[in-house]
Amino acid sequence: MTGRVRAAEAGSPAPGVASVPGAREAGGRAEALRALVDGLLASAAHTGTEPPGTEPPGTEPRATAPPPGTALPGSALSGSVDGPGALEPLLRAALAALEEGAARRGGPVPALEPGELAARVAGEYAAARGAAALPRLTSLLAYGSADPADPLCAAHLHCPPLAVAVAADLAVCALNPSQDSWDQAPAATTLETLLLAELAGLVGYGEEAAGVLTSGGTESNLMGLMLARDRVMGRVSGRQIELEGVPRTGPRPRVFTSAAAHFSVQRAAALLGLGEDAVVPVGIDHAQRMEPGALAGALRRCADAGELPVAVVATAGTTDTGTVDPLPECARLAAEYGAWFHVDAAYGGGALLSDRLAPLLDGVELADSVSLDWHKLGWQPVAAGVFLVRRAQTYASLARRAAYLNPGDDEEAGYPSLLGLSLRTTRRADGFSIAVTLRTLGREGLGRLVDACHDLALAGAAAVRAHPRLELHADPVLTAFLFRYVPRGHGGPGHSDPERTDRINAALRRRLLREGLAVVGRTELPGEGPGRVRLKLTLLNPHATPSDVERLLDAVAGAGLAEERAGEDPR
């Protein structure tokens, strides 16, 4: 075994306590977990049944029915006035299990090979029965998770959610409102409407804006391109595209986005019947920012060829570098060619919370539609995507009427419905945690968290520049940056064998995962050939410190050196 020392077994666990080979007890916390589990088992026993999972080893669970008038163990409901009482002991058990599992993990990710972890999960899943299943599997989940709250977990746009947002989300889970009709979510319907109006104002839209909560940027981008298709192709063809479909004749539709844009743009084009080949990649600069001259040239060639520019999709916060495309220039060119202008601000939309960074998004208010993700630079539980349009009338092609959900006479009588704003029918009240967070911290408080992560990225980039074995790709724009480990060689940084450098950087990341030391991202720069592999830090933990980032970079350098030595070992 290498890397972080794996904990030794600490004796036989009490019934129901997560038990995986090599796991250590978490002291008093494990004792508390045992007590809670024992309490749950005793509570189940009071119903007159022995819960599954307490049979002697080697026997099959007995299928016993509770006496008349008693409830099955674990069958209590979470709503109504009795719900909190049913939840309280279960939540205590789950919270203790979360803490116990995280303590056993002891770092940002479990120190295991994927196959080892899969075997442990399968074993625990098979063994978890009855009232012990909740704490046992919760502990397993915590042990086997990549923890974005750990400062050394910094690979992806995977944020550590705020505790207040998680508490709010628990209320949503308990009450289970569905946003497709007013009579399933009376208060949540109004709260989502108010929240979206506030977020539209943050973007710079006026009172005529509209929007909806989504599962994230992929769904939001799909909606933006759907409306673009229906509006632009409908205008040119004189047909109602959402009813009649994409015309088989006429000018070929084209969508323009940068070569560094999210892959969901191509996916949306495929789903909408335009085809992935309809997406034209536009040239970018060294920082992966779309070049206005390249966009102008691509649009001009499209028009000269008799093709139809359906949409220009600009990115405000690319996944790899956080770069923001030139939004005012993109808006002007889209308008000049009659194309819909959509801004994918799933990552960069969080900059709107910061006085320091908000100017990066100047021009976003010119977009016909915008994607935002609050489960990135908003510290919300997944999913917390937002889709907004500048003018509500452009939503017309999504309008739907279902007699059993939103009959017209109900709406005329003052019972509003959000059904016609979403691609989904059943939909959680995901906006509630955002609303609670905004009211708790305000834009100013959230902006301070954004600035803290930006400061962390700047400090991390400075530490890379100062490190003899690391090479920075470009200064951070938001909270992410690319870099790489430079192996020892006679040519100095940047002059090593590019294939070997790529191989070592890819392998060192896996070494860090295998040893449970750190979670670092990996990507490739646009282009062809070797030498393009880069490591990535995406810093979304506002409570991490520059020393944490330096510790992470030291771990990267140490893993790189270990990979070099492993490659030189004649064995």
For residue 333, the domain's CATH number is 3.40.640.10
Q: Is there a domain that residue 9 lies in?
A: no
Which pairs with CB-CB distance under 8 Å and at least 24 residues apart come from 527-530?
529/498, 530/498, 530/499, 530/501, 530/502
Q: Are residues 395 and 452 in the same domain?
A: no
Last residue of a domain, one of 102, 124, 144: 144
Q: Are residues 450 and 488 in the same domain?
A: yes
Q: Are residues 407 and 457 in the same domain?
A: no
Q: Are residues 323 and 280 in the same domain?
A: yes
Q: Are residues 362 and 486 in the same domain?
A: no
Q: Is there a domain that residue 18 lies in?
A: no
Q: Are residues 318 and 218 in the same domain?
A: yes
pLDDT digits (tens, 9 = 90+) for 251-260: 999 999 999 9
| Residue 300, token pair as written in the block | 């001009």
Which pairs with CB-CB distance under 8 Å and at least 24 residues apart come from 1-8?
1/111, 2/514, 2/515, 3/111, 3/511, 3/512, 3/514, 3/515, 3/516, 3/517, 4/106, 4/107, 4/111, 4/515, 4/516, 4/517, 6/111, 7/104, 7/106
Q: Are residues 221 and 361 in the same domain?
A: yes
pLDDT digits (tens, 9 = 90+) for 538-553: 999 999 999 999 999 9
Q: Are residues 300 and 403 in the same domain?
A: yes
Q: Is there a domain that residue 71 lies in?
A: no
CA dihedral in degrees (420, 422, 424, 426; nearest 10)? -70
Last residue of a domain, one of 379, 395, 428: 428
pLDDT digits (tens, 9 = 90+) for 317-331: 999 999 999 999 999
Please give the residue range of the domain that contains residue 373: 178-428
pLDDT band for position 142 (cuts 50, 70, 90):
very high
CA–CA separation, 234 and 240 (whole Å) = 6
| Number of domains observed in the structure of the chain | 3
425 vs 521: which has the higher pLDDT: 521
> In 3-state terms, the chain is what percent helix, strand and coil (to 5)?
45, 10, 40
For residue 488, the domain's CATH number is 3.90.1150.170
Q: What pLDDT, on a 0 to 100 scale, did the predictor assign at position 16? A: 34
CA–CA separation, 58 and 61 (whole Å) = 10
pLDDT at 214 over 60: yes
Q: Are residues 203 and 130 in the same domain?
A: no
Q: Which residues contact 410 (CB under 8 A, 6 or more apart)?
A: 182, 417
Q: Are residues 516 and 415 in the same domain?
A: no
List 372's β-bridge partners, or say none. Answer: 345, 386
415 vs 54: which has the higher pLDDT: 415
Q: Is there a domain that residue 39 lies in?
A: no
Q: Is there a domain that residue 203 lies in?
A: yes
The mean of the pLDDT values for the chain is: 88
Q: Is there a domain that residue 107 lies in?
A: yes
Q: Is there a domain that residue 244 lies in?
A: yes
Last residue of a domain, one of 102, 123, 144: 144
**Cα 291–297–301 angle (5° rounding)?**
150
- The enclosing H or E element of 132 equals none
Q: Are residues 448 and 424 in the same domain?
A: no
Q: What pLDDT, on a 0 to 100 scale, did the predictor assign at position 490? A: 38
Q: What pLDDT, on a 0 to 100 scale, did the predictor assign at position 323? A: 96
Q: Is there a domain that residue 131 lies in?
A: yes
First to last CA, the chain: 18
Q: Are residues 239 and 362 in the same domain?
A: yes
Three-state SS at 554 = helix
pLDDT over 70, % of the chain: 86
pLDDT at 43 over 80: no
